[in-house]
Structures are given as structure tokens and as C-alpha cells.
Amino acid sequence: MNWFQNFWAHLHTVRHHRKLVRQHCFAVGLYRQGLLHDLSKYSPIEFFAGVRYFQGNRSPNDAQRKAVGYSASWLHHKGRNRHHLEYWIDYSAHGKHRMEGMEMPVPYVVEMFCDRMAASKTYRKEAYRDTDPFDYYQRSKDHYLIHPNTQKLLEQMLLWLRDEGEEAAFLHIKNEILKPWKAQKHT
């Protein structure tokens, strides 16, 4: 593909992904997060890297990382989007000044779940199955710096999706995660 084709293909991929995340977030009641999800992907540093390294079946960040040794696009993206666990990595307040995952606020963990499901649907297309986000997580989790509570919550949602399907997972999230979180927040 040439640059012009990559431009339109990447724009379509970003718009499609954002649409799916918006639908998933709306299904669980996270309207603001659904509307604002991944807007940084339209910034020049992220968008034009996406065009240059577009592949269609996986993130262009991987190709940029292989080509130049790091992904400026990813570094920009994860620093501006709280639904990424990497946003929440900081020096430990306890111990020997080591990096660790901080506990993520519940709505961002839910958005992360929605994002993972949408990414799987976007890249797997017709081959997508509700087991894909869990399978991807399983292959990747060994290198994550993630707070144990955040990990437990994310894994629970991924298992609901894998074992019971999308509609049931959304109902569980709405009633067993977000509803109690909102009630606790307002007490």
C-alpha cells in the first residue's frame, strides 16, 4: 500500500475501533469515556506513525518499535489515556524505589476491558471470538506491571466475556462492578 492508501486505511481502523469502544462503554453506562476514548490517536505524533507503520492486522506501534527501537506513538498514547495500565506505573511508595502498577480507578479498568475487546474485534475481524481478549491477555500478562486489585478485576471481566458472552459480561459489569462502585463513591 502507498501512503495515501495507508492514510485512509488507518483512519478507518481508528474510527472503527473508537466506535466499538463507544458501543461497549455505552452498554455499561460509561458515556463520557465512550465519547472521549482514544482521541489522542488523532494527534500528529500518533496518527502519522499509524499511517507510516500501518499493517491492518495489528497495532502500528509494534512496527514502529521494530523499525526505530521504540514507539513514540505508544509513549505519547499511554501517557494520555488512563484506560491503559501503563499509564498507572509509578515508583513504589513502599520499598526500594522500584516501579510497580498503581491501582486503577474502576471506570478505567472497565474502559480497558472495553478497549481490549474492541481491539480484538478490530484486528481479528470475522474471526473474532469472545475468548480472544482473554487469550491475548494470557499471552501478555507475564510482562505487565499491574496492581493486584486491577489485575483481579480485569481478569474477572475477561472471564465473564470468555465464559458467558458479551451481553452477560456487560450485565455483570453494570450490576456487579459499576453499580456498587457508584454506590460506594456516593456514601
Average pLDDT over residues 20-37: 98
**d(Cα 69, Cα 87) in Å, to the nearest integer?**
20
* Span 156-172, pLDDT tens digits: 999 999 999 999 999 99
Q: At what angle do helices 44-52 and 3-28 cross, to 10 degrees?
A: 120
Are the C-beta atoms of 105 and 31 separated by less than 8 Å? Answer: no
Instruction: With H, G, I as helix, E, B as strand and everything else as coil, classify residue 2.
Output: coil
Residue spans of the domains in the chain: they are 3-185
pLDDT the model gives residue 96: 80
Query: Considering the entire predicted model, what is its pTM?
Result: 0.95
Which of 11, 38, 181 lies closest to 110, judged by CA?
A: 181
- Percent of the chain at pLDDT above 90? 93
Element (DSSP H or E) covering residue 131: none
The backbone region for 27, taken as left when phi is positive above 0, alpha when psi lies in -120 to 50, beta otherwise, is alpha
Dig out the grid coordinates for 73 from the structure: 506513538
* Span 92-126, pLDDT tens digits: 988 788 999 999 999 999 999 999 999 999 999 99
